[in-house]
Amino acid sequence: MQQIMVVGAGSVGGFFGAHLAKQGPNVSFLLRPRTLRAVQANGLTIRSASGTFTVRPPCASNPRELPAPDLIILAVKAYDLDATLDQLEPVLTERTVLLTLQNGVDVEDRLLSRLKRDCVVGGVAFIYSKIVAPGVIEHYKRGAVSIGELMGHKSPRVLAIADLFKQAGLPCHLVDDIRRAKWEKMCWNCVFNPLTVLIDDRIAKALDHPEMLPVIRQIVGEVAAVAATLKVPLSEDIADKVVRWSQEIRDIHTSMYDDWKAGRQTEIDTLNGHIVKLGHELGIPVPLNEALTATIKVVTERERSGPGILRIDGDVIQPIQLGLDAIAKLPAEHHVPDVSKLASGFKGKGVRVKGLLEVPAMAIGADHVTFHSLDGKFAACLTIPQAVEHGILIYELDGAVLSEQKGGPFRLIAPGLGDLCANVKGVGRIQVSKGPGRDTRPSLNCDPKPSPSS
């Protein structure tokens, strides 16, 4: 294997790839633009207790700009696999071998299904490291891989890959059943990745509470039941092994925890979510994995923003975001089924501001509310009594979601206010305040029944 391409320079690909590149000049990296710029400028740096070093390997964001690879080490997240293959396919040949170092248990089958040839070697990475900046990886513990052919034989190519790692000073273990090895790590991942997020702490906090041990056993039991149905039997004491394996790394967080804290997408769908999917398909109850998947998605979801999301903040106890679905579920008494009865020219649906303001708890003394357009250019401020009695947000026109061209997704009207009318297109924020807020209305002498084109 003359040419090696490492795809990704994160906590896994960065560490293993840098060691391979340090050993030989025939290692290149396929990187995302941000990481590419950093590595081109400063190199790829590994900081570790055993020492710090920097390599400057060939790198690009287009695989055609790199040497044609004999071995591709896939170190991207499993959720990026399809997009990565789209990028790689132009440089794949009949001799190209792909080594997988992702979490999860379905990557190898996805590759084989798409590429239609025997080109995949399975791998499991055992490492604790994290990205501290693009092109800079801090390594704390471990740093080994287990690899194997999916059919279990010791082929020339798997022996050659093991030799590459060993020459770079990286422990590489050949295993006869790589699928079982991946399912064993899946058991560990499905326990401690979500738990460290939910307890917002290290593995030790989960291990040190006796009440948690039966929970760990049940999570592992669900994973093992799915594996057994897929003809990958795990040992009867696999749950005890998961706990035992964790004792020497009890001080660490997990990759899911680090991704969450860094604002990155988590692998919950690759881990517990995949167990839920398989459980449903196979008719196996997986209630704890269902609960973990749902809860992690709620905990780690980024605050939504942009068109279609209405934020209410300011002098409220807790800011909130409401999408169209949430607004539609407000009590019927707050909805206006036919806005045209109150404002001619608007044949559509709306929601009364009164209903919206009843959702957040307002601070004592709040007396005004300001409606801001999403682009920040326009605003109208009303007293809370004015907003409650007259304010309506239109969200549907002629049976369809109110388009941005017509002032949507939310457009404020205040029929009945007369000279104090308010009409703001593209409302994205409602700000509660003590005292008046921003107001861009050029004149308070405006038409109380605005037309859709106003």
CATH number of 179-302: 1.10.1040.10
Q: Which two tokens stand for residue 269?
A: 């769908």
> pLDDT tens digits, residue range 206-246?
999 999 999 999 999 999 999 999 999 999 999 999 999 99
Find the mean pLDDT for residues 316-323: 93
* Class of domain 309-433 as given by CATH: alpha beta
Instruction: Answer yes or no: is pLDDT of 303 > 90.
Output: no
Can you give the pLDDT at residue 443?
63
Instruction: Answer yes or no: is pLDDT of 452 > 70.
Output: no
Find the mean pLDDT for residues 256-281: 96
3-class SS letters over the chain: CCCEEEECCCCCHHHHHHHHHHHCCCEEEECCHHHHHHHHHHCEEEEECCEEEEECCCEECCHHHCCCCCEEEECCCHHHHHHHHHHHHHHCCCCCEEEECCCCCCHHHHHHHHHCCCCEEEEEEEEEEEEEECCEEEEEEEEEEEEEECCCCCCHHHHHHHHHHHHCCCCEEECCCHHHHHHHHHHHHHHHHHHHHHHCCCHHHHHCCCCHHHHHHHHHHHHHHHHHHCCCCCCCCHHHHHHHHHHHHCCCCCHHHHHHHCCCCCCCCCCHHHHHHHHHHHCCCCHHHHHHHHHHHHHHCCCCCCCCEEEEEECECCCEEEEHHHHHCCCHHHEECCHHHCCCCCCEEEEEHHHHHCCCCECCCCCEEEEEECCCCCEEEEEHHHHHHHCEEEEEECCEECCHHHCCCCEEECCCCHHHCCEECCEEEEEEECCCCCCCCCCCCCCCCCCCCC
Find the mean pLDDT for residues 331-354: 89
127 touches 12 (CB < 8 A): yes
Q: Which one is predicted more confidently, 70 or 348?
A: 70
Fold of 1-176: Rossmann fold (3.40.50)
Phi, psi of 359 (to 5 degrees): -75, -55
Can you give the pLDDT at residue 448?
39
Angle at 8 between CA 4 and CA 9, to 5 degrees: 100
418 touches 391 (CB < 8 A): no
> pLDDT tens digits, residue range 402-436?
888 888 899 999 988 876 677 899 999 999 999 99
Can you give the pLDDT at residue 301?
83
Q: Which two tokens stand for residue 135?
A: 């092109």
Domain boundaries, the chain: 1-176, 179-302, 309-433
Find the mean pLDDT for residues 262-281: 96
Can you give the pLDDT at residue 405?
87
